[in-house]
Amino acid sequence: MMYLGVTSCSKEEKLDSNSVFVDPKIEQNDFDKYIFSNFTTPYNMEIIYKYVDRESDLDYNLVPAPFESSIRMTKLLNYLGLEPYNDLTGSKEFIRKYFPKLINYIGSLAIRNNGTVVLGTAENGTKMTLYNLLSLDEESGRDADFLTTYYFKTIHHEFQHILNQTKPYPSDFSAITGTTYVDDAWNTVYPENPTGRANAISAGYISPYASKAATEDFAELFSIYVTRDQAGWNSWINLPNASDAGKAIINKKLAIVKTYMKEQWNIDMDLLRTNIVGRMSKLDTFDQTTIK
Amino acid sequence: MKRNIVYLIFFALLLIGSSCDKKRDRFFEDNPTERLNTAVDEAFNILKSQKNGWTMQYFPSSDLEYGGYNLFVNFRTDENVEFQADYIPYLIEPDYSTQSSTYKVYPGAGPILTFDTWNEIMHFFALPGAYTGEGAVDSGTQGDFEFLVIKATADSVILQGRKTLNRIVMLPIKSTPATFIEKMQKNAAKFDSFEDYMVEVGGETYDAYFISDLKRAFVFDDPEDENIYSYVYTETGLEFYKEFSIKGVKVKKMTYVNPTTGYPNGYFENPEKTVKYIPVG
């Protein structure tokens, strides 16, 4: 009797199969179509080039990316970020399976109140945010150093996180300088200036940020190595006042990263580097604007 | 035990009593979702309907210290929007050029109007200070580029900035846009060129101080008066963000009066002619 009293008023109502909110129907523009056929179809990837508040980091004051820069970034992402892996693995399957599914473009840098900046972030291997598209134009789009510093080192760095979260790297990597990682103090212990960077290398860290934690160290070694030729790598580590002992540690760590990439993913990092650097040398003739 | 039974029955009665709330009559005919979708469609159509475009009286920052700007907005297609303005952002080439980008109206707490790809005229005010040299290095002039559409009719559109909650008014451009916009730009350039302003009210004269070098917002050196008198230029003078009490006199709009012997740069005056805002030099 009590039971009946409690339940007697529930009516069955069917849920409406239509979404309650309807976005205005706007035809896909040529860029939308380009993204669909070159990213969504082959890689199941979405590129958000129009600012969406809920996809953006509300801790920062950000502005949308310029439409034209977004086209450049998208073509460059394919050219310098995805195709090298396709070439090395022989198909698009590797990128389709592991590369983040959501790429978010932002116009400005993410600037903290102390003036330091964020160049890129990745969340749980599913989403990557690229900042600073305001600086990407016809001139900077052909500048390999600029592209590496502001976008592609970050892209390869974040992608490496996803790879080693999928298949862990050997624990002896973390043990090499296991007691000297400095966590969030990395930019005060090793400031981003010639002395700070030389001190980082003397301590066995390829960059100040590598001293944060073993996972960052691993990703930094990978991304810095594959985005420059041997001469570029040499000048990166052979800083004045950087100790040979530190460089030896870095080379020991690098060997583990290379072995990991070869054994776990069948990717030869030297071939990957040659591929990426070869593409960079052709930036002058690479078409960054045609989307039809 | 008996007491427990009493409690149980009491509890059961409560449940029975409260379980059958009748459906209340609806205040509106349509359900909330349909009404929201209709509101989005309506706002979208109103924005596009003005072929001459709109004058957007835009105020960045909730504190209003950077003043107000006329942005001339034309929603050309379902996706593309053009901006001109009565100010020149620092990077823009050439001066007063038209800048194109995209926009969208989508459902949120109401219809949300967003300018979702970079437009230097619109997003200048949202950039961190590191880019513009205005405001704090990380937050800049703190302007909005996403707005809740409060009201949309052919006569006016009222927006509310999503971060600042500032009220932003858009009015249709009634005359030939090119002529109107050029006139507004020339006025603004002239009034912005003065570094010093004064206010005359109640037989007294007060110095008005700009807070930022963007101008268009002044304060008095008066610990009793913490108002930031923020204004936007109009076709005939200026209009304050809201009705302010300037030394006891309520003022919302002022008309510009051409130079006279006593006022070689002219002056702005309220309709009652009791307050003057005077460019000095």
The domain defined by A30-285 folds into Collagenase (Catalytic Domain) (3.40.390)
Q: Which of residues 207-226 of A touch B (CB under 8 A)?
A: none
Asked if A67 reaches chain B (Cβ–Cβ under 8 Å), the answer is: yes
Better pLDDT: A51 or B18: A51
Bridge partners, residue B244, by sequence: B251
Supply the ipTM of this predicted assembly: 0.86
Contact by Cβ (8 Å): B73, B82:
yes
**CATH of B32-177 given 3.40.50, 2.40.128, 1.10.443, 1.10.8:** 2.40.128
* pLDDT for residue A57: 86
Q: Which of A61, A69, A70 to mutate to test the interface with B (most CBs of B within 10 A)?
A: A61
Q: Where are the domains of chain B?
A: 32-177, 194-279
Choice between A53 and B144, residue whose per-residue pLDDT is larger: B144
Amino acid A2: pLDDT: 46
In whole angstroms, what is the distance from residue B259 CA to residue A208 CA?
A: 63
Query: Which residue from B minimizes the CA distance to A49?
Result: B117
Residue B1 pLDDT greater than 60, yes or no? no
pLDDT value, residue A58:
84
Q: Which residues of chain A have pLDDT under 50?
A: 1-7
- The residue among B264 and A13 whose pLDDT is bigger is B264
Q: Residue holding tokens 């880019």?
A: B131
Q: Do A50 and B128 touch (CB under 8 A)?
A: no
Q: Which residues in chain B are contacts of A131 at CB distance < 8 A? A: none
Name the residue among A151, A283, A148, A288 with its Cα closest to residue A227. Answer: A148
Give the predicted TM-score (pTM) of the model: 0.88
pLDDT at A5: 46
| pLDDT tens-digit readout, A145-175 | 999 999 999 999 999 999 999 999 999 999 9
- For residue B243, the one-letter residue type is E
Q: Are A136 and A69 in contact (CB under 8 A)?
A: yes
Cβ distance B28 to B35 under 8 Å? yes
The reported pLDDT for the residue numbered A4 is 46
Which residues in chain B (186-245) have CB-CB distances under 8 A to chain A? Answer: none
Question: Under DSSP, is residue A167 helix (H, G, I), strand (E, B) or coil?
Answer: coil
Whether chain B has a CB inside 8 Å of the CB on A17: the answer is no
Percent of chain B past pLDDT 70, that is, above it, reads 92
Which among A51, A108, A113 has the least Cβ separation from residue B114? Answer: A51
Using alpha carbons, select from B193, B212, B201 the residue that is nearest to residue B280.
B193
Q: Do A61 and B105 touch (CB under 8 A)?
A: no
Other C-beta atoms lying within 10 Å of the C-beta of residue A182: 17
Inform me whether the C-beta atom of residue B121 falls under 8 Å from chain A C-beta atoms. Answer: no
